[in-house]
Structure 1
Amino acid sequence: MATMLVQPPIPAFHANIPPMLRTTNMVITHTSSSTTHQKTRSSRFGECPPGFRPIFTVRVAEQTSGLVADETPTQIKTALYQALEGINRGIFGVPSAKKFEIEGLVKQLESQNPTPDPTLNLEKVGGCWKLVYSTITILGSRRTKLGLRDFISLGDFYQNIEIAKGKAVNVIEFDVRGLNLFNGRLTIVASFKKSSKSRVDINYDSSTITPIQLMNVFRKNYDILLGIFNPDGWLEITYVDDTMRIGRDDKGNIFILERSEENSI
C-alpha cells in the first residue's frame, strides 16, 4: 500500500498573513487607551475577554532589500565634477578626505570603462584634452621658487594627442602679474608608443617657454619646472569615453582630463 504523506495544517495565524509580510520587520509600539470595554470584543483570531484593554499595537514595516543599483558613468561623473569644484585641479594640494573621495569616484568610473583596450582604439584618445585634476602637486619651496605664491598664477593645462605622429603636446599656461601683465606658456613635446592594450611608454622630446620674458622668470628654476611636468615614463589609460579620460602613471599619479573643443595648442 502506498504511503501518503500528510502535511499538518497551517495555523490560521500564519495562513492569513500575506507572504510578503512574513519577511518584514515587526515594530511594536506602546499605545494608550482610555476606552473601557463593556462587552466582549470580536477579533479575527477569536473573542476578546471582557474588560480587555489594548496596551500594545503592532505596526508592520516593510523591510527594504538594501540593494542599490550601480550608478551610471554619467551620474558618477556629475559627482566627480562636484568633488573637483574649488580645488584648482589639485595642483596646490587637497585635504586627504577630499583626495580619498575623488579617488573613490575615479575607481567607480574605471570599473565601468567603456573602452577597455584604449590603445587599440586610439581614435578615442586622439585630439585635445584639458586637465581638470591631477595628484601632481607644487608645494612648499618649489611653489615659492617658481613664484606661484606671488606674481605668477597657473592657467589652463592642455594636452593634444597626435595619433599619426605618435606625439603628445602638453601646454601649461601662466599669467604673470607685474608692471606689464603678460601671458605665457610652457610647451612640452613627448613621443609615445603602445606597450600594451591600455598602456603607452612616453619619452620627453623637447620643451619651450614663450614669451622670452617668461623664460627669464623661470630660467633659474627651469629644472624644477621640468621636474614637475616631465612626462617620461609610462601611462595607463584606465578610462576613456567621448568626454573624459583618466590615466595613472608609473609615479602613482592620477590624471583626469575632459575633451576640449578649444584646441588652443
Structure 2
Amino acid sequence: MIGKTAVLDAIAGTNRGLLASEPHKQAILAAIATLEDLNPTPRPVEAPNLLNGNWRLIYTTSKALLNLDRLPFCKLGQIYQYIRVENSSVYNIAEIYGLPYLEGLVSVAAKFEPVSGRRVQVKFNRSIIGWQRLLGYNSPENLIQQIEAGEKLTAIDTAINSDRQQGWLDITYLDTDLRIGRGNEGSVFVLNKV
C-alpha cells in the first residue's frame, strides 16, 4: 500500500520523533492523514483480532514520552504497548538507558473501555518506575506477567486514581501490523506489531 509505505518512509530515521524537525513533522503528519483516509478497518475497536497483541512505538508527537529522553544521563530505549482485549487491559512500557547497570523503565497499566467503533476511554490504574536490574526485567512479557499476578515490585510501584488519570484514544488506522492513534492531548502514535 502506497500510503503505508509513505508513512514508514517519512518516519524512518526520526528515532520515534526525537530527531524530526518541524517541517519534517508536518510532512509526517500529512502522510499519516492520507493513510488514515485509507483505513481498511473503519471500526477498529470492533476488530479484536487485529487490535489485540504486542505493539512497538515507531513514531509519536507525545511530549510526555519524548521528554523521557531529556532526563540527565538517560536515553529513551524501546517503547511498547501491549493490548489484552480479553480483559480490556493495556500496558505501556518505556525502556530507559544510561549509565551501565542503571537501565530503567517507566510503565503504566490501564483499563480501556470502548466508547465507539474507533474510540476507547483509557483509565490508568498503576505506575511503575524503577531500575531494570532490581525488577529482574528481561522483557515486556515478563514484566506484564508480574503485574497481572499482582506482585508488588521493587520499584516506585503506585496505584493511580483512575477517576483523575484518564483519557481517550481514537484508533484512526488499523491493519495486521500497523496502528495509528490520536489521543485526547493531541498526540499522534504510530505503532507496529511485534
* TM-score normalised over the length of structure 2: 0.77
The equivalent of 1:118 in structure 2 is 44
8 Å contact from structure 1 (residues 238, 246) kept in 2:
yes
The equivalent of 1:192 in structure 2 is 112
Letter in 1 for 2:168: W
Letter in 2 for 1:173: E
Measure how far apart 1:159 and its partner are. Answer: 0.5
How far apart in 2 are the matches of 1:204 and 1:97?
33
CA deviation string 1:102-154 (max 9, x = no partner): 11111111111110011111221000000011111269xx95xx673641111
Match of residue 255, structure 1, among 169, 189, 192: 189
The equivalent of 2:86 in structure 1 is 164
The equivalent of 2:103 in structure 1 is 183
The equivalent of 2:32 in structure 1 is 106
Equivalent positions of 1:165-244 (< 5 A) are 165-177=87-99, 180-211=100-131, 232-244=166-178
CA deviation string 1:216-260 (max 9, x = no partner): xx98xxxxxx9xxx9721101110000100011111111100011
**RCO comparison, higher one (Cα < 8 Å, 6+):** 2
| Cα distance, 1:204–1:106 mapped onto 2, change above 3 Å | same
- Structure 2 unaligned segments of length 5 or more: list them: 136-154
The equivalent of 1:131 in structure 2 is 57
How far apart in 1 are the matches of 2:79 and 2:26?
23
Number of residue pairs matched?
Answer: 170
Which of the two has higher C-alpha Rg?
Answer: 1
RMSD: 2.9
1:83 aligns with 2:42: no
| Cα distance, 1:100–1:147 mapped onto 2, change above 3 Å | closer
Letter in 2 for 1:83: A
CA deviation string 1:39-71 (max 9, x = no partner): xxxxxxxxxxxxxxxxxxxxxxxxxxxxxxxxx
How far apart in 1 are the matches of 2:165 and 2:82?
14
Aligned-residue sequence identity (percent) comes to 33
1:152 aligns with 2:84: no
**Structure with more of its chain in strand, by fraction:** 2
